[in-house]
Amino acid sequence: MWATVSSLSHTDPGGSVGPVATQRVELFARDSPLVLESGATLAPVEVAYETYGHLNGDRSNAVFICHALTGDAHAAGYHDDPERPGWWDNIIGPGKPVDTDRLFVICANVLGGCMGTTGPSSVDPATGEPYGLRFPLFTIRDMVAVHRALVRHLGIARLRAAIGGSLGGMQVMHWAMDFPDDLAAAVLVCATSRLSAQNIAFSAVAREAIMRDPNFHGGDYQRIGARPDAGLAVARMMAHITYLSEEGMRNKFGRRFQNGTTPRFGFDVDFQVESYLHHQGEAFLRRFDANSYLYLTRVMDYFDAFGDMSQAGPKLERLTTPFLVVSFDSDWRFDTSHSREIVQVLSAHRVPVSFREISSPHGHDSFLLVIPEYHRTVASFLRRAEARPAAMPAEVR
């Protein structure tokens, strides 16, 4: 759910899409605003997005990437420094599983984000001040509405596939259920149809850390030139623990001390794992907004794809989009039971679905890393979707 560029890295096969630029477009004019599920309206909505590869003549080779909680539009290639590629560069590019030699790839910053798309840090045109907590609450449905508007703006009627990890998978799930004609295939990685009580609890503590920071000022910190950095860093540190696995942390840090082999017996950073978490918290402050963190975690809390089967059931009965659902055996944030629940519901409604649990020691962050079996699985599914986008066999493993 949480796009983090892990310090764990692997050499990836294939090439880079090279230098790229983030583009921006205004959608939803004032006379045709975005009407949110709550009934509130937004106009205009600025959307930051990037594209990779080339759209073919009949515009049938487009793939949409839905990013996770703290991701952005910069999924592949690089802006200035080739050593700092996009957050999913290892899977998007020429010869990679999402092969830009064949596919036209789109990735957009989500509604409510802070990387170029309209969100709580944006200026409210009605007041000339940042929205802060006056930004209206929104849902996964609203995020998908913005994605769809961007796709239409690009002149694309039907996507070859939509692919998402974690929160991105929630977006793909909703997109396929509500607009089945939009997608020829759907890929969900480390995803869930709804958060468990434990997951909601983690997010609640993170939000409390932010809102109890003295510099939060009711969400109006931008207006007074302050930042709730302490709270946001703590929220990130706690969340990051859940993205890793116990095995991964043991292998990477163990009980090793930061300096030498003996403890300093104090409350400063002493263990290597403490230093790592502090680094993650500090680095996060340079690229994310506290209010966006509040809103996007709340969006996840409320999502429940199959909660009301009187509404979800008929949608599933109509759904013929082939799905690939991938989980990792060490992911305890969204463990494999979350993926199996999705697979069971889809299968019960005769939706074509392939499922794969993949072994990895890296926890939830596995979806961001080069894990050969994972990459082969995605590549194979996308090739099959290209060959038979409307009639792929179900395969539940």
At 151-193, the pLDDT tens digits run 999 999 999 999 999 999 999 999 999 999 999 999 999 999 9
DSSP state of 267: S
Q: What is the pLDDT of residue 395?
A: 43
Residue 393 lies in a domain: no
Q: Which of 298, 322, 342 is the last residue of a domain?
A: 298
Is residue 295 over pLDDT 70?
Answer: yes
Q: What is the pLDDT of residues 234-269, one digit of tens each?
A: 999 999 999 999 999 999 989 989 887 788 888 888
Q: Which of 298, 333, 364 is the last residue of a domain?
A: 298
**Does one domain contain both 31 and 141?**
yes
**Does one domain contain both 206 and 99?**
no
Residue 18 lies in a domain: no
Q: What is the pLDDT of residues 47-99, one digit of tens each?
A: 999 999 999 999 999 999 999 999 999 999 999 999 999 999 999 999 999 99
Q: Answer whether 0.75 is exceeded by the pTM.
A: yes
**Does one domain contain both 310 and 369?**
yes
Q: Please, are residues 210 and 228 in contact by the beta-carbon 8 Å criterion?
A: yes
Q: What is the pLDDT of residue 396?
A: 36
Residues with Cβ < 8 Å from 47, sequence gap 6 or more?
24, 25, 26, 27, 108, 109, 116, 117, 118, 146, 149, 150
166 among known catalytic residues:
yes
Best CA proximity match to 6, nearest among 244, 233, 247:
244
**Does one domain contain both 291 and 312?**
no
Q: Is 395 helix (H, G, I), strand (E, B) or coil?
A: strand
**Does one domain contain both 142 and 45?**
yes
Q: What is the pLDDT of residues 125-148, one digit of tens each?
A: 999 999 999 999 999 999 999 999
- Return the CATH number at 279: 1.10.1740.110
Q: What is the pLDDT of residue 394?
A: 39
Residue among 6, 121, 122, 166 flagged as catalytic: 166
Say what angle helices 167-178 and 309-318 make with each other, to 10 degrees.
70
Residue among 203, 364, 365, 366 flagged as catalytic: 364
Is residue 304 over pLDDT 50?
Answer: yes
Per the structure, the count of domains in the chain is 2
Q: What is the pLDDT of residues 365-379, one digit of tens each?
A: 999 999 999 999 999
**Does one domain contain both 261 and 116?**
no
Q: Please, are residues 6 and 369 in contact by the beta-carbon 8 Å criterion?
A: yes
331 among known catalytic residues:
yes
Is residue 11 over pLDDT 70?
Answer: no
Residue among 72, 213, 289, 331 flagged as catalytic: 331
For 195-220, give the DSSP string. Answer: --HHHHHHHHHHHHHHHTSTT-GGGT
Residue 152 lies in a domain: yes
Task: State which residues form the domain around 357.
Answer: 23-195+303-387
**Does one domain contain both 277 and 315?**
no
Q: Which of 278, 298, 318 is the last residue of a domain?
A: 298
- Return the CATH number at 41: 3.40.50.1820
240 among known catalytic residues:
no
**Does one domain contain both 78 and 172?**
yes
